[in-house]
A = this chain, B = another copy of it.
Amino acid sequence: MRVLGVDPGLTRCGVGVVEGVAGRPLTMLGVGVVRTAADDDIGTRLVGIERGIEEWLDRFSPELVAVERVFSQHNVRTVMGTAQASAVAMLCASRRGIPVALHTPSEVKAAVTGSGRADKAQVGAMVTRLLRLSAPPKPADAADALALAICHIWRAPAQNRLQQAVAQNRLQQAAARHASAEKGRTR
């Protein structure tokens, strides 16, 4: 399966696409960062994130988008920006009927390094090894996005297929509800 991992952030939103199945060597198809200017207003920055995520979805057509689950942190300002960027990523995926999976940072670290308390360098080193890259992806947000995608592919192959079916079904139901609401209104 092909997964787009998203490490959400307003200033640097890490994105990485990994293809493969659990138990086989994985392949990296692309990695990068969607950036927005810190001096732009919040609305403009969210539009920039949306545009960036849409480009990655267009280019790689992932079957699933894995997003880091946001927790409250010490810095309230940072966590709000992270929650907002993650909302845009989830919105872009769901709008296309692509299922979204959330993984916590410690789930991701544990999946790729064996320890939920691994540091950035360990995660970067393992991502490099698992995807057979010549050097760790930079910045760390890009490596984290790849780690999210790897974590997802390894965690639940059967669950993924179920999620895809459910997401497609919900999109169809929502479209049907919307169509009938539109019909009711124009009557």
Contact = CB atoms under 8 A, between A and B. Distances in A.
A89 B153 CA distance: 32
B76 A44 contact: no
A83 interface: yes
B43 A100 contact: yes
Contacts of A174: 44, 47-48
How large, as a class, is the contact surface on chain A?
35 or more
A88 interface: yes
A85 B71 CA distance: 16
Contact of A41 (B44, B48, B88, B100): B100
B40 A91 contact: no
A90 B51 contact: no
Interface string A84-123: 1111101101110001101000000000000000000000
A136 to B, nearest CB: 27
A129 to B, nearest CB: 32
A79 B50 CA distance: 22
A90 B170 contact: no
Contact of A70 (B80, B86, B88, B167): B80
Interface in A20-40: 40
Q: 5 closest A-B pairs (Cβ-Cβ)?
A: A43-B94, A84-B87, A83-B83, A87-B87, A43-B100
12 contacts: A41-B167, A42-B90, A43-B99, A43-B100, A43-B167, A46-B90, A47-B91, A47-B95, A72-B76, A83-B84, A83-B87, A85-B87
